[in-house]
Structure 1
Amino acid sequence: MVFNDKQTWAQKTLAADDIYKKVVKALKPHGLALPKTPRRPDIRLIVENNSGETIQFMNPGDHAKQQPEIIPATGDSRAIMVMLKGDTLEQQFENARKLDVIFKLSQKGLTKVFADALGNDQILQYVDEAYGPAPLNGQADRLVSLAWETQDRGIINIDPYRGALCAYGARAAENETVFRNEIALFIKGTNTIPECVEGEGMCVAVSEDWKTGKISTRPIVPSVAREFYGAAYDNIPTVLINPLGFVQAVDLKNGQAAIDVTPPVRYTLKTQNVALRK
């Protein structure tokens, strides 16, 4: 990819969806696929509606697209699920504890006071999103004692809390597809051998919609990915991308040599034309 001043911002962007498709295509002839990587779970707070009345509120994360969340007063599913802010598990757990103490969630459960506070800036420093309804027992039973290994090989221990009307903690880590891209960019000085630019590139996580099966991708900068994947970060597959935009090699980090990819003819010709103009 030869950048110039006439290109738009979009023309200087590589599409993660396209990269993923090229990786899948490169691995298929070898009978291989991208492995799954364990991802750190987030802390969640579950609070049951014991008020005797239906409670409505707006999700601070707006995932419902301006539609109110409605938590019934009766039935098995009458709890709210709250995702906490915080860069680390400890910070998220502490934010859940603070909300429990401030609003007496263990004793009172979900109240209109707490629901109304979800739109308050002071409370939003603790809350990322909130939605429902959900079953308190069913969700609380999924919380586990977690021992998460960080990238520097430290261990973070999180034990779930269970009160009469609320619970908070982490689920078991789930596996997801993720790979890290490195751009094969070389810089040449005056009468010097070109040197490859060092860098960790960009991670790309791949998700599949549980309803439609549609694949989607999202970029994650390495500094954030280290928190997400902990000790498993070092084993994330690496994809080498040529500056022209094609996948040049895939290293599955499985102890085997990286898989080299033959570039399409159009890229080969483009490279030759660039060389001829010099």
Structure 2
Amino acid sequence: MLSLYLLDTKQPDQSFPSVDMAWDEPNGLLAVGGDLSVTRLANAYRHGIFPWFGPREPIYWWSPNPRAVIYPQQVRITRSLRKALRNRGYQIRFDQNFAQVVRACAAPRSYTNGTWITTEMFRAYCALHDTGLAHSVEVYDASGTILVGGLYGVATGGVFCGESMFSLVPDASKIALIALAYYLHTWGFALIDCQIPNPHLMSMGAVEISRNEFVKTLAAHPDQPPKANWQIDPNVDLSRWEPQTAPLV
């Protein structure tokens, strides 16, 4: 039987094992234990590793193969999404209410039992946000006062590792993803990491690449592009953006 690498809670700067040691089943399981300190989380994301565990479970660390990613310039914008961007008056912002976005992502869903975003996870990602590593994309209603959708994740070099998204109205999380893709493309980011494929992400243009290719991309883009100041340009009309993919009906 394969052994699982045990992380020491007292050594936040401890190195992770090579991702090549991750289990095939369950796909990507690499290590257990440790903590969710900023130091450990930053190190994990730099090496293509992320935490995922449920309430009352130890911290499990993962690096699945293959990896679902979106190339920012290849995000898929359907005609209905373009119409929503043009007509619904949504206001999009970065990093104005990170904690509220994470809380909304952690809220119970009708199709899930509970949430993996525990209180411990919430505090950890808020700490990452305070250091400038974690970011939120927020979609507000036309009045600009009610948060109706969004997403959050971690920027490591030229890769944005998406963690979770939510929608309180139709298409709001998709619009957040389109906004993220546009600005990451503009700023020179290489990838949006989606971790595990699902139909929603695949409909938005996600593709699967090997873990080896993903880790190579991380290594090739160690520094965050300097233009990524995480501010919305009020002159940009996202409904007019034409990514390098044919729109779907």
Rg: which structure is higher? 1
Return the TM-score normalized by structure 2.
0.21
Greater relative contact order (Cα < 8 A, sep 6+): 2
Return the TM-score normalized by structure 1.
0.20
Bigger share in strand: 1
